[in-house]
């Protein structure tokens, strides 16, 4: 509300104004006092409600008579519009790909709002029957992108999908329902079994937490007898091929790792063999785990975790990446990785593969972007600009964004090139992010040099682009880290 300032009589000064408001005419409830300007905003009101207001001026002798009454009606609640143009395509015998147009406006007949500052999370619902209502039992995943890979379908099965948008304004109405059918099983691929083959899993022994089953997805390159897994859990070391023991009963343990080796009886964690690992902490009734590419991509790995709390999620490299030969995967990386050896800040992301190829694609910090390396200044100018524009007072990040262990969002913003250097500041002096909306739209990541081309490519090979490609890739919720209660089974796919 606004009003005209009172012109005081001689020898008198207006000190402030009092505001009275309510839902009935001639309100007597004082809602604000000591207002020194001629405007006031009354927030936190009910939607679709008429409010009445009176204003009085105050000087050293007391209040004036009240003003004429003014009134206004609040609009209806703002509701984000549902996603539109939803499509579903069966891309394999166990995966359906969804795409839609993002929700960026209010729904019809609701109050306007700037939705650009309220980034949405999309909730994906699936059913084998139609019509169906979105419910907890049909929720299969969430994403901040405008696409989703449903990687846990059954072959030759018709599915129905709806997508809802959810942000701090509220939940949208449902999208239209779309349908797609998965392809039939390929008898020439993985022995005709589903990619996520959960058959023949034995009962869990008493005292253990979950049963792990290993899946050979090397496309015939290696036999089960040539795939070795090792782990030391609670002082007990296991070293076995998946031919000898295709399953493993895992008990509670902390900060554990399980390593996988392809045709390497020496099980050496070196740069001249094919190996990789997963990480986990397992409690008596819980698990937290991830695949990681923070150090390198050595062997294609994905997992499907099922838990008693309803969690059923797949993370790691996607099926398209598993289906292609390793030589094709490595060549695709080289084709995508740029280099520029001229200028003040040279860089070469192809060296991530050429250093130890074909065994590993290593992360840039181990391939010359580290302190003392030929590409240590790749991010230097951008880092200086971030600090200067945002008024950050902590020490500058070092080569490859190092030294930001206490500032994970700032570190991630450097690698993704999302930190502002013009417009509106989004970090405070201590380097803390002040607007989580920075992480609301993954399509804005990796769009301008300098940025981590290794991380961009690694994420593009992952199921729903969720992967650990740099230490703080979980900023905004984009990593391959997952936790659940009452874990039951863990399927681990090892590829070539």
pLDDT tens for each residue of 295-324? 999 999 999 999 999 999 999 999 999 999
For residue 334, being part of any structural domain is answered with yes
Asked if residue 221 is part of any domain, the answer here is yes
CA angle 447, 450, 455 (to 5 degrees): 70
Q: The tokens of 180 are what?
A: 């797609």
Residues 240 and 290 in one domain: yes
Q: Domain check: are 344 and 482 in the same one?
A: yes
27 within domain boundaries: yes
Looking at residue 166, its pLDDT comes to 86
Return d(Cα 89, Cα 83) in angstroms, integer: 17
In 10 A of CB 142, how many CB atoms?
14
| Same domain for 258 and 162 | no
**What is the per-residue pLDDT for 113?**
46
Q: How far is CA 373 from the centre of its chain?
A: 31
**What is the C-alpha to C-alpha distance for residues 340 and 202, in angstroms, rounded to an integer?**
54
Looking at the fold, whether 177 and 233 belong to one and the same domain comes out as no
What pLDDT does 76 receive? 67
Q: Identify whether residues 231 and 303 lie together within a single domain.
A: yes
177 and 195 housed in the same domain = no
Neighbours of 328 (CB within 10 A): 10
| Angle (CA) 352 357 361, round 5° | 40
199 shares a domain with 146? no
Residues 252 and 353 in one domain: yes
Backbone angles phi, psi at 329, to 5 degrees: -60, -45
Q: According to the model, what pLDDT value does residue 41 have?
A: 87
CATH number, position 63: 2.60.40.10
Question: Considering the domain boundaries, does residue 292 fall inside one?
Answer: yes
Q: Which of 36-50, 96-110, 341-355 has the lowest mean pLDDT?
A: 96-110
The neighbour count for residue 136, using CB atoms within 10 Å, is 7
Domain boundary among 161, 181, 201: 181
| DSSP secondary structure string for all residues of 240-295 | EETTT-SEEEE--EEEEEEEEEES-TT---SSSSEEEEEEEEEETTEEEEEE--SS
Element (H, E) at 121: strand 121-127
Q: List pLDDT tens digits, range 108-129.
A: 555 444 434 446 789 999 999 9
Give ∠ CA 378-384-387 in degrees, rounded to 5. 135
Total tally of structural domains belonging to the chain: 3
The last residue of a domain, from among 181, 201, 219: 181
Looking at the structure, tell me whether residues 47 and 123 fall in a common domain: no
Mean pLDDT of all residues in the chain? 92
Inside any domain, residue 312: yes
Q: Is 137 found in the same domain as 24?
A: no
* SS3 category, 380: helix
Domain that holds residue 45: 16-73
Are the CB atoms for 57 and 17 separated by under 8 Å? Answer: yes
Residue 69 sits in the same domain as residue 24: yes
Counting residues of the chain whose pLDDT is more than 70, the rounded percentage is 96
State which of 123, 154, 181 marks the end of a domain.
181
| Residue 117, token pair as written in the block | 């500052």
Mark whether 98 and 25 lie in a shared domain. Answer: no
Residue 417, domain member (yes or no): no
């Amino acid at each position: 509300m606004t009003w005209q300032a009172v012109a005081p009589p001689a020898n008198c000064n207006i000190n402030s104004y009092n505001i009275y408001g309510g839902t009935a005419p001639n309100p007597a409830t004082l809602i604000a006092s000591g207002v020194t300007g001629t405007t006031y905003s009354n927030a936190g009101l009910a939607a679709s409600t008429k409010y009445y207001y009176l204003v009085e001026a105050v000087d050293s002798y007391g209040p004036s008579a009240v003003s004429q009454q003014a009134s206004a009606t609040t609009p209806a609640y703002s509701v984000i519009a549902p996603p539109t143009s939803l499509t579903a395509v069966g891309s394999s015998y166990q995966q359906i790909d969804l795409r839609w147009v993002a929700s960026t406006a209010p729904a019809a007949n609701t109050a306007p709002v700037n939705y650009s500052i309220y980034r949405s999370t999309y909730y994906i619902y699936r059913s084998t029957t139609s019509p169906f209502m979105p419910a907890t039992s049909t929720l299969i995943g969430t994403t901040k992108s405008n696409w989703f890979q449903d990687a846990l379908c059954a072959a030759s099965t018709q599915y129905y999908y709806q997508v809802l948008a959810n942000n701090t304004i509220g939940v949208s109405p449902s999208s239209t329902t779309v349908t797609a059918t998965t392809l039939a099983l390929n008898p020439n691929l993985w022995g005709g079994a589903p990619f996520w083959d959960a058959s023949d899993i034995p009962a869990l022994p008493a005292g253990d937490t979950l049963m792990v089953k290993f899946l050979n997805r090397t496309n015939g390159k290696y036999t089960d007898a040539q795939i070795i897994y090792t782990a030391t859990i609670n002082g007990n070391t296991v070293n076995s091929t998946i031919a000898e023991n295709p399953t493993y009963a895992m008990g509670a343990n902390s900060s554990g790792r399980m390593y996988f080796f392809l045709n390497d009886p020496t099980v050496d964690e070196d740069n001249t063999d094919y190996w990789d690992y997963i990480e986990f902490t397992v409690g008596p009734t819980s698990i937290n785990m991830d695949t990681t590419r923070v150090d390198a991509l050595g062997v294609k790995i994905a997992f499907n975790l099922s838990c008693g709390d309803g969690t059923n999620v797949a993370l790691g490299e996607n099926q398209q990446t598993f289906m292609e030969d390793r030589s094709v995967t490595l060549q695709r990386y080289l084709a995508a990785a740029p280099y520029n050896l001229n200028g003040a800040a040279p860089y070469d992301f192809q060296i991530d593969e050429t250093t130890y190829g074909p065994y590993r694609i290593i992360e840039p910090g181990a391939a010359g972007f580290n302190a003392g390396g030929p590409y240590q200044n790749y991010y230097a100018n951008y880092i200086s600009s971030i600090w200067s524009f945002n008024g950050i007072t902590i020490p500058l990040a070092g080569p490859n964004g190092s030294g930001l262990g206490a500032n994970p969002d700032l570190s991630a913003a450097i690698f993704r090139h999302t930190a502002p250097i013009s417009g509106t500041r989004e970090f405070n002096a201590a380097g803390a992010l002040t607007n989580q909306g920075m992480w609301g739209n993954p399509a804005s990541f990796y769009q301008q040099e300098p940025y981590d081309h290794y991380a961009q490519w690694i994420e593009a090979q992952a199921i729903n682009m969720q992967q650990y490609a740099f230490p703080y890739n979980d900023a905004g919720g984009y990593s391959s880290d997952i936790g659940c209660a009452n874990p039951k089974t863990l399927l681990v796919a090892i590829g070539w």
